[in-house]
Amino acid sequence: MGAGVVQKSGSGGRRRRGRGRSRPMAEINVTPFVDVMLVLLIIFMVAAPLMVVGVPVELPKTAANALAAEQEEPLTVTVTSEGVVMIQTTEVERDNLIAQLRAIAAERESTRVFLRADGAVPYAEVMQVMGALNRGGFGNIGLVTDTGGPALDGSGG
C-alpha cells in the first residue's frame, strides 16, 4: 500500500534545486489485498463442509420443508444403521440416554433437538429414542431427512 511523493517538474523540464513542490501519490496498490481475500475465500470454501456434524447415516427422503434456524447450536441425536445412539458425535449407552439428555437440557435454553436416523433403522427403535428425548426434557423434536423424496400427492417428488 505504498504511498510515495511525486515531484512536479519546473519550467522547461529542468530540475529545480532547493525547495520544490511535491504532491503525495494518491494510488493504492490493491493487488496484495485481492490476493489475501482470494486465499481466505479458498480456505473457507474448503473448511465449511468439514464443520458439519459427522456421523454418517443414510437419511430417508421426504418432501418436507426445512426448519428455521436458531441462534443456539442445535442438539443432534443420531441413530446409526447398527442401532448405536449418538449425541452430537459422542456415543451414548441407551441405559444412560435419558440421564444425559436431562443434564444437557438443564444447560440449554432451547428444547429443540434434531433426530437423525438411518433409513434402515426399524420404526420402533426410532420411536423409543423419541420417547427418551421427550422424557429427557426435549419436547421440540425435528426429524432430519434428505429432500427430494416422494410427496405422496401424485407429483412423484
Distances in Å between the Cα of 91 and the Cα atoms of 54, 96, 100, 144 are 12, 11, 11, 19
Answer for the pair 138, 81: CB distance below 8 angstroms, yes or no. no
Query: Of 73, 80, 75, which is closest to residue 55 (Cα–Cα)?
Result: 80
What is the C-alpha to C-alpha distance for residues 90 and 105, in angstroms, rounded to an integer?
Answer: 16
Same domain, 67 and 120: yes
Domain contains 138 = yes
Q: What is the mean pLDDT of residues 26-39?
A: 88
Provide the pLDDT for residue 145: 81
Paired with 75 in beta bridges are 113
Same domain, 43 and 70: no
Domain contains 154 = no
Domain contains 152 = no
Same domain, 99 and 122: yes
What is the C-alpha to C-alpha distance for residues 148 and 130, in angstroms, rounded to an integer?
Answer: 24
CATH number at 82 reads 3.30.420.270
What is the C-alpha to C-alpha distance for residues 80 and 56, in angstroms, rounded to an integer?
Answer: 8
**In the predicted structure, residue 35 carries a pLDDT above the cut 90:** yes
Same domain, 98 and 35: no
pLDDT digits (tens, 9 = 90+) for 89-130: 889 998 889 999 999 888 888 888 999 998 889 989 999 999
pTM above 0.85, yes or no: no
Domain contains 118 = yes
Q: What is the mean pLDDT of residues 46-50?
A: 79
Question: pLDDT category, 61, cuts 50, 70, 90?
Answer: confident
Same domain, 99 and 72: yes
**In the predicted structure, residue 17 carries a pLDDT above the cut 70:** no
Same domain, 35 and 65: no
Domain contains 157 = no
Q: Are strands 112-117 and 140-144 parallel, antiparallel or unpaired?
A: parallel
Q: Give the structural domain span for 69.
A: 61-147
Domain contains 128 = yes
Same domain, 68 and 138: yes
Query: Of 87, 68, 142, 149, which is closest to residue 112 (Cα–Cα)?
Result: 142
**In the predicted structure, residue 135 carries a pLDDT above the cut 80:** yes
